[in-house]
A = this chain, B = another copy of it.
Amino acid sequence: MSLIPEPARVRLLHIMRIMEKFAQPLSSSRIEELTGWPSHTIRKDVSYLSGEGEGETGGTHGHFGGNCGYEPRLLVPAIRSALGLDKEWKFCVVGLGRLGSAFLNEEISGSPEPEFSLGGEFELAAGFDKNVNRVEILKSAVPLYPAYKIGEVVSRFGIEIAILCVPAGEAQTSAEKLAAAGIRGILNFAPVPLRLPPEIVVRNVFVLDELRELAIHIGPSGPRA
């Protein structure tokens, strides 16, 4: 079932994001301009979709549009369903410092611009913080709870994903609380690796590593060292 290579799935994810903002058809070469990935790679990635679950037309041409490019109306749902994203996910934010609170109100940054919305497929269902004061002071459209209620709230609301924004020293214990509560995936912004049962999917965002990778690509004295 999961025959699509992971790098291809990541690209399809980005392609989907771009297409969501367009109504007109987008050709593979136009997508190349927008993403930097070669057009044949895009075509190959899209071709994985036809090989999968939805063998509709049976022809060898134009599954997702005519000769002018890919039709967002056709491609976006196909990607969503092939990637298993045609589902509503509930997630929570654990740790409401400056970073964690940035995710409240379904925003990613400190601005109310709609482009920052997380979109319809992920619903922010709760926020948690160890500091009861902060929980009560922070204004938020989503309900906030003290950290000791993680177990109760996560399982009651069926929250499956958590964004972990606590300090490094609390990350492991917070993660274990989430695991015990039945969480299934954690997006970890705390700069420490988490030790969890393998059935729990962890994705790390280590800002220091990101800076270092940038530095690697820049090189000591130019774009290519």
Q: Which residues of B contact A217 (CB under 8 A)?
A: 185, 201, 203
Contact A84 B219, beta carbon cutoff 8 Å = yes
A184 proximal to B (CB < 8 A)? yes
Interface residues of A in 178-193 (CB under 8 A from B): 184-187, 189-193
Contact B161 A214, beta carbon cutoff 8 Å = yes
Q: Which residues of B contact A89 (CB under 8 A)?
A: 211, 215
Contact B191 A211, beta carbon cutoff 8 Å = no
Contact B98 A215, beta carbon cutoff 8 Å = no
Contact A214 B191, beta carbon cutoff 8 Å = no
Contact A166 B201, beta carbon cutoff 8 Å = no
Tell me the bound Cα distance from A120 to B209 in angstroms.
Answer: 13
- What 0/1 pattern do residues 185 to 225 of A give for CB contact below 8 A with B? 11101111100001111010111111111111111100111
Tell me the bound Cα distance from A100 to B207 in angstroms.
Answer: 12
Contact B108 A191, beta carbon cutoff 8 Å = yes
Copies of the polypeptide in the assembly: 2
- What 0/1 pattern do residues 71 to 102 of A give for CB contact below 8 A with B? 00000000000011101010100011111111
Q: In the complex, which of the residues B85, B99, B185, B211 contacts A102, with contact meaning CB atoms closer than 8 Å?
A: B99
Contact B13 A212, beta carbon cutoff 8 Å = yes
| Number of residues of chain A lying within 8 A (CB) of chain B | 77
A122 proximal to B (CB < 8 A)? yes
Q: Which residues of B contact A185 (CB under 8 A)?
A: 214-215, 217-218
Tell me the bound Cα distance from A187 to B10 in angstroms.
Answer: 19
Nearest B residue to A33, CB-CB: B195
Nearest B residue to A87, CB-CB: B220
- A: which residues have CB within 8 A of B? 1-2, 9-10, 13-14, 17-18, 34-35, 83-85, 87, 89, 91, 95-103, 108-111, 113, 115-116, 118-119, 121-122, 160-161, 163, 165-169, 184-187, 189-193, 198-201, 203, 205-220, 223-225
Between A and B, 18 residue pairs with Cβ closer than 8 Å are A1-B225, A9-B216, A14-B209, A34-B193, A83-B212, A84-B219, A89-B211, A95-B110, A108-B208, A111-B166, A113-B167, A113-B169, A116-B191, A122-B211, A122-B215, A184-B218, A198-B223, A203-B214
